[in-house]
Amino acid sequence: MKSGKRVLGIIIISLLLISSVSLVSAGIKDWFGFGDKSELEGELPESATARVKILDVNPPIVVYVSPVDDGKGTLNTVTPNIRTASSGNISVKLWFLAQQGGGVGNLDSTPGTFNSNASFFRTGSITRFNSSCVTLGPVACGTLCTGNAVNYSCTVVMRYYDDPNGVVNWNISAIVRDTSNRYGTNLTKQFTVASVSAASSAVNYLNWTTPPLSSSDPDRYSDNNYMVDNDGNSPIPTTKVNATQLRGVTLATDAILASTFTANPANPATCGGITLGQDTNPVITGFSVPKATTDAGSQSELNFCLDTAGLIGLSSQDYNATRSWVITFA
């Protein structure tokens, strides 16, 4: 009887322990949020997708820069040489490839921005640049690089007076930026600028008419100033004048000889400088026109003087040149 009661007591205690464990387990589940689905709040739906965005931290690289064209549309890959236009602008084209991390990366390809640009520069010259190259889009590198790249097209405007080659070549700088403002630069290409000699003048005549001349007058310079503009990119060191005689309009037997005139770079009180002659084509010593260094241009005045002693004995009438005078610059 006693042993039977003892067994029953053990059974009851075991049930209580099992029940207690069940209650504790339920409490632990609640504390850690592992209850039934109906008890969870803010759980991910079954259709949720994980997304990862990786920003390329490599700086951009300009992997290739093309040779420049010659300013007239011809690409010379052997000896790139630009020939500027006389007294004007010349548009020079080139293109370059850029990439980031072996591909297009995070390159900023917004058209018309400073994020892609090219410039031409050399010591002692004004830098010419295009600050908004045109994005042509992604391309396969082919033999120029590995992977894909973005192709940029640039046009750089040069001025007529930009220096010829001389001692130092012109350098090309190609720059590209990414969306985090990191940038890459390529300075591997150079080119030369050909020498262009050109000159002009807004004056195409010489007059000695106001007032009319007399053999008793002192030597007289022409009524109009003859200004010579340098329209090239090289100095004009040598100037020649091929003059001709002037014949009377009414009485053609009277003539003012070409040797009656002189040309000089200064303006002395009397006719100085170089005596002209018909078809002798003398060099006007001391006269030169430096090349321009700014858009203001460069010009020099060439003075023409008539020795009135050469008018003695001539009739009173108008005298005109028998053909045009020719001024040659070299």
> 174 and 205: one domain?
no
Residue ending a domain, among 193, 211, 242, is: 193
Residue 25 lies in a domain: no
Residue 5 lies in a domain: no
C-alpha R_g of the chain: 44
> 246 and 154: one domain?
no
> 122 and 209: one domain?
no
Residue 27 lies in a domain: no
Residue 47 lies in a domain: no
> 207 and 188: one domain?
no
Residue ending a domain, among 163, 193, 223, is: 193
Indicate the residue type of 238. T
Provide the pLDDT for residue 277: 95
Provide the pLDDT for residue 28: 41
> 167 and 76: one domain?
yes
pLDDT in tens, 223-255: 988 999 999 999 999 999 999 999 999 999 999
> 312 and 216: one domain?
yes
- What are the CA-CA distances from residue 104 to residues 57, 96, 139, 258 (Å)? 13, 13, 9, 72
| CATH code, domain carrying 99 | 2.60.40
Provide the pLDDT for residue 25: 44
Residue 260 lies in a domain: yes
Provide the pLDDT for residue 4: 46
Low-confidence ranges of the chain (pLDDT < 70): 1-50, 52-57, 71-81, 111-113, 165-168
Residue 8 lies in a domain: no
> 204 and 321: one domain?
yes
- What are the CA-CA distances from residue 96 to residues 9, 189, 251 (Å)? 93, 11, 71
Report how far residue 88's alpha carbon sits from residue 26's, in angstroms, rounded to the nearest whole number. Answer: 91
Domain count, the chain: 2
> 211 and 177: one domain?
no
Residue 14 lies in a domain: no
Provide the pLDDT for residue 15: 40
- Find the length of the chain: 330
Residue 15 lies in a domain: no
Residue ending a domain, among 148, 165, 193, is: 193
Range of the domain at 267: 199-329
Provide the pLDDT for residue 22: 43
- Asked whether 292 and 204 are in contact (CB, 8 A), the reply is no
Report how far residue 329's alpha carbon sits from residue 238's, in angstroms, rounded to the nearest whole number. Answer: 6
- Asked whether 120 and 156 are in contact (CB, 8 A), the reply is yes
Provide the pLDDT for residue 256: 96
Provide the pLDDT for residue 101: 85
- Extract the tokens encoding 60: 């951009």
Give the helix ranges, DSSP H, for the chain: 2-32
